[in-house]
Amino acid sequence: MAQEIIEFEKEAKSSNGMFALLANTVLMLASVAALVYGIFLAKEGAAVSIGITLIVASSTYLCVLGPILYCGLKVLKPNEALVLTFFGTYYGTLKGPGFFFVNPFVTAVAPASTHPSTGSTGGAEKSQNITVGNISIPASSVGASAPKKISLKALTLNNDRQKINDALGNPIIIGIVVVWKVVNSAKAVFNVDNYTEFLSIQCDSALRNIVRLYPYDASDDADNEKSLRGSSQEIADSLKVEIQKKVELAGLEIVEARITHLSYAPEIAQAMLQKQQASAVVAARQLIVEGAVGMVEMALAKLSANNIVDLDEERKAAMVSNLLVVLCGNKEAQPIVNSGSIY
């Protein structure tokens, strides 16, 4: 049998809870009075049948109908939702703060909040938080006492760091943070078993799909090439769109997705650091040489223009060599005084 997919969320039929509470309470008090009066009539013997009728009717309301009607009262806080079913069929969703009265035979569905294999975070937080996938939730919401209300607040998923190969095949370590919220509670409850774990797994999958399309860093000879390090905003936008497509089934909305950690894997980190240092040294040397050549050219032009000294080609070559050594050397030059001819 094909799996039924919930596509739309509908509003549950409800009425004013305070009015229902007061009305049922008044009827309960009236039933008590009717029960006492029925017992009185039955003892007097004047109207035994009427007394028995009042006793049965009032007892039925006090023991059965009244408590059942109280079960239809629901209280919701801001940014909370309650998914209701009627004998296994989706009945509707209550949203928004207020005091509601619904069909007392409907049942609130609790979203899956944990998994039998889920462990606790340990340490001082062991009694306070439980880890669901990569999300830490209060321990009070797990187990038999798990709440049936779904939070519509914006939540944060801080995914574990992963080792992924970039577009060039280099292994990198990357971590992301995702801000998300539930926008369709019916999808979140009925379409997936545990929407928090589902989100965590889909974030891992989307992250791998995005990272493999971009290099860690753009090459020097590439114009407008996007990279994980240099195009953080573009990568974040692509990541958000990719995750949103994957979690649409669960009724979730991705508010924001950001890279929180980015580095080379330990096995290649040292080699990549040396590569970056070498690139920096080459770029610096290139700048120094260009500046030195310009200075030598300017010196020769000034000497020739001012007729300070008449240099032949051999003397020009020697002067150029000396100036380049002085300007391009890593250490300060040691002057040598020449008292004779260079020939």
Q: Is the dihedral of CA 141, 192, 79, 200 positive or negative?
A: positive
Candidates 65, 82, 75, 73; CA nearest to 102 is 73
User: Residue 249: what residue type?
Assistant: L
pLDDT digits (tens, 9 = 90+) for 231-279: 888 889 999 999 999 999 999 999 999 988 888 887 766 766 766 666 6
8 Å CB contact between 51 and 20: no
% residues pLDDT > 90 (the chain): 29
What does the mean pLDDT of the chain come to? 79
Tell me 265's DSSP state.
Answer: -
- Give first-to-last CA distance, the chain, whole Å: 102
pTM: 0.67
Given the structure tokens 């150029």, which residue do they identify? 320
Token digits for 337?
A: 């005084």
Helix, strand, or coil (residue 129): strand
Candidate from 26-30, 59-63, 135-139, 279-283 with smallest mean pLDDT: 135-139
Map out the domains of the chain as residue ranges. 15-108, 130-264, 270-328
Distance CA 143, CA 117 (A): 13
Q: pLDDT: is 82 or 37 the higher one? A: 82
**What are the φ/ψ torsions at residue 180 (nearest 5 degrees)?**
-145, 165
8 Å CB contact between 268 and 168: no
pLDDT digits (tens, 9 = 90+) for 299-319: 777 777 777 766 667 777 777
The CATH number that domain 130-264 falls under is 3.30.479.30
8 Å CB contact between 195 and 182: yes
Q: pLDDT: is 129 or 175 the higher one? A: 175
Question: Cβ atoms within 10 A of the Cβ of 88, count?
Answer: 7
**What are the φ/ψ torsions at residue 50 (nearest 5 degrees)?**
-65, -40
